[in-house]
């Protein structure tokens, strides 16, 4: 089969190569991938920064959607021909967290395309429990785009963030796949949704999609701007994947007893927090990663029922994989980048 692979670290090592077709092991299904979606994770993997030992050529790609081609021994309830989206987080199914239904806390959690051959390929094999039917009417690109970012966003907002209808939510960093997914899923239930960005174009786009207020963090202090926009109260929930220097202003944007859920550190992993602000205001700082099987099902039900459709920034053919990866770093990116595999 053809696959977008690396034979070393760096963008110059990315190419479409011929690799052996994967077969489904017992308990697995092999999916004929019709579309894949890109994540920053793919850039980290190909940079070698994750220090994971790879067998080259290594197939990139976490998110994908397609048609079940074949099923391995012991797989029931799913047949060749089924149209599915893939949850890229592979859990062991045996550790105490998996047994408790907390698959994203699995002690050996691995990701497609990062620790194992990924979705930027004509075929990929995954555990049968990692494929899900997707909402009717969705294209394969849209279904692929429901992977990493929508699963992560659902868990951040609802499972870890305990968002209630009517609450006021701040989404930091609108524009990338996760920020847009968070905004889209918070919007139908939130009382107010605020977003931040350093780009006026992205803030304008967010207002057009229904943001109640926007803050350009290069020009304004986020904490002060949000307090001004909420009658000094602050928001109930901040959902953030930037951390770094943005975390402290985000905490100042919270109401008393508010929650901040973080699922990334694109602005830097080290954070300085005045702990007095946390205990005096009884704030919660909550970590989140990917989602459980229940989070995936619940996300798909919410998407199917709410009319939310993933925003596809651009779609490229598999052969233009390098251009697609480069697109992730372009400043006007808004939503998900997809790869289409005919």
Name the minimum Å distance from CB 76 to Zn ion: 21
Quick check: 236 and 167 in contact, CB under 8 A?
yes
Alpha helices per DSSP H over the chain:
40-47, 96-99, 140-144, 148-154, 177-186, 200-208, 222-229, 247-252, 275-280, 293-306, 321-327
| Residue 65 DSSP SS3 | strand
Closer CB to Zn ion, 114 or 313, in the complex: 114
* Per rule CB under 5 A, count of chain residues that contact Zn ion: 5
CA dihedral 173, 177, 179, 183 (to 10 degrees): 140
Nearer to Zn ion, 95 or 271 (CB): 95
| 116 vs 254 by CB, closer to Zn ion | 116
User: What span, in angstroms and rounded, lies between the C-alpha atoms of 205 and 47?
Assistant: 31
Residue 328 CB, shortest distance to Zn ion, in Å, is: 30
- Distance of closest approach, residue 125 Cβ to Zn ion, in angstroms: 19
- How many other C-beta atoms are found inside a 10 Å radius of the C-beta of residue 325? 21
CB of residue 142 to Zn ion, shortest distance in Å:
30
- H or E segment to which residue 54 belongs: none
Minimal distance, residue 90 CB to Zn ion, in Å:
9
Provide the minimum distance between the beta carbon of 182 and Zn ion in the complex, in angstroms, as a whole number: 26
Q: Is the peptide bond before 240 cis (omega within 30 degrees of 0)?
A: no
Residue 92 or residue 267: which is nearer to Zn ion going by CB? Answer: 92
Judged by CB under 5 A, the chain residues 64 through 123 that form the site for Zn ion are: 91-92, 95, 98, 106
Between 91 and 230, CB nearer to Zn ion: 91
- Site mask for Zn ion (CB under 5 A), range 254-293, x = bound: ----------------------------------------
Q: Per-residue x/- mask for Zn ion, residues 222 to 261, rule CB under 5 A?
A: ----------------------------------------
Nearer to Zn ion, 106 or 308 (CB): 106
Of 105, 16, 255, the closest CA to residue 7 belongs to 16
Residue with tokens 């007095």: 276
**Residues of this chain that bind Zn ion (CB under 5 A):** 91-92, 95, 98, 106
């Amino acid at each position: 089969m053809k696959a977008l692979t690396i034979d070393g670290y760096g963008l110059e090592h990315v190419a479409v190569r011929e690799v052996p077709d994967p077969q489904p092991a017992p308990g697995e299904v092999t999916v004929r991938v019709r579309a894949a979606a890109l994540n920053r994770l793919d850039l980290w993997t190909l940079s070698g920064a994750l220090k994971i030992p790879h067998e080259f050529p290594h197939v990139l790609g976490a998110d994908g959607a397609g048609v079940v081609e074949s099923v391995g021994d012991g797989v029931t309830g799913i047949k060749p021909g089924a149209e599915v989206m893939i949850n890229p987080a592979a859990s062991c199914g045996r550790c105490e967290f998996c047994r408790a239904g907390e698959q994203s806390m699995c002690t050996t959690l691995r990701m497609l395309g990062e620790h194992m051959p990924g979705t930027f390929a004509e075929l990929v094999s995954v555990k049968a429990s990692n494929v899900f039917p997707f909402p009717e009417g969705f294209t394969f690109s849209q279904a692929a785009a429901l992977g990493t970012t929508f699963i992560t966003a659902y868990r951040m907002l609802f499972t870890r963030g305990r968002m209630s209808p009517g609450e006021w939510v701040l989404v930091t960093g609108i524009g990338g796949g996760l920020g847009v997914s968070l905004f889209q899923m918070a919007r139908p239930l939130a009382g107010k949704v605020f977003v931040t960005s350093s780009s006026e174009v992205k803030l304008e786009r967010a207002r057009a999609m229904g943001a109640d207020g926007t803050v350009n963090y290069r020009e304004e202090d986020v904490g002060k701007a949000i307090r001004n926009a909420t009658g000094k109260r602050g928001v109930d929930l901040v959902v953030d994947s930037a951390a770094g220097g943005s975390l402290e202003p985000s905490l100042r944007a919270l109401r008393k007893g508010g929650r901040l859920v973080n699922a990334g550190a694109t602005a830097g992993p080290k954070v300085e927090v005045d702990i007095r602000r946390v205990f005096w205001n009884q704030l919660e700082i909550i970590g989140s990663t990917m989602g459980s099987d229940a989070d995936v099902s619940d996300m798909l039900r919410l998407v199917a029922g709410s009319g939310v459709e993933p925003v596809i920034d651009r779609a490229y053919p598999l052969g233009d994989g390098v251009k697609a990866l480069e697109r992730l770093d372009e400043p006007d990116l808004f939503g998900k980048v997809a790869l289409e595999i005919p």
